[in-house]
Amino acid sequence: MRQFLKDIVVEAGRMALAYRGRLGQMRVDKKSVKDLVTDADRIIEKFLRKEIGKRYPEHGILGEEEGEKAGKEYRWLIDPIDGTTSFVHGQPFFGVSIGLEKSGEPVLGAVSLPAMGELYEAQKGGGAYCNGKAIGVSQCSSLAESVMATSVGCIGQEAEIDNMNYLGAVKGHIISMRNFGSAAMHLCYVACGRLEGYWQVDIKPYDVAAGILLVTEAGGKYSDFSGGMSKFYKQVLTTNGRIHEDMIKILGSCT
């Protein structure tokens, strides 16, 4: 399964890059005020569903664009282009994210960041890798020296949960903030030590299924803002583990 996952995520990343070269010819729609979808999102998800269906017809699939297909034991979680707004604006901050669950537990994950030339992979109990080389989380143990990431697309009157309170609470405790607009990229960067942590509110399973496995297999930690392990992803906190409890105290003070 791991080689199959690698093959399809690499091909999907190649497709995304090819479509980005034709942005002016591409249809772009709005699913909501701040949520875009393109022809590339739809076509890439159809490709991935077709390939998975041919190889593993009994498996379930949850995708951002076409919803859920029920299956037995295994479920694939697909975000065909995570960071569509960046993609549409010609920015490199997007990726293809695919996770695989067995009986509800993550067992495989892969993220292609095609504009960066990076492929991230993780297997439960098998470590995390970027372009075939083992990766690990940052060794920083001081929140004051940490670079954190979050996304602010959910801020505003359209949002079910507003991230602004959390952003305001965290910013005074860290050295710097990043917002690439892609949960998959943020999680890859935590896994390889470029960020000390990433938090987000009200996110979808297909956005983070692969990335959370990458972080934990790279030696990091995942929880909700209270330190629990909710799978509903209303709250996602990933860190290098060394600053995790400090982040829980700050984020927990806002709830």
8 Å CB contact between 214 and 109 = yes
CB neighbours of residue 36 within 10 Å: 17
Catalytic residue flag (residue 207): yes
Q: Which entry of 45, 101, 196, 207 is annotated as an active-site residue?
A: 207
Residue 41 known to be catalytic: no
Residue of 44, 45, 84, 216 marked catalytic: 84
The question of whether 202 is a catalytic residue gets the answer no
Give phi and psi for 3, each to the nearest 5.
Answer: -65, -40
Check if 79 is active-site. yes
Chain centroid to CA 225: 17
118 catalytic, yes or no? no
Catalytic residue among 82, 101, 121, 196: 82
Out of 41, 45, 64, 246, pick the active-site residue. Answer: 64
CA distance linking residue 28 with residue 30, whole number of Å: 7
Residues 56 and 8: beta-carbon distance below 8 Å: no
Choice among 8, 81, 203, 243 that is catalytic: 81
List the catalytic residue out of 79, 196, 217, 246. 79
Phi, then psi, of 76 in degrees rounded to 5: -95, 135
Whether 82 is catalytic: yes
Which sequence positions are flagged as catalytic?
64, 79, 81-82, 84, 207
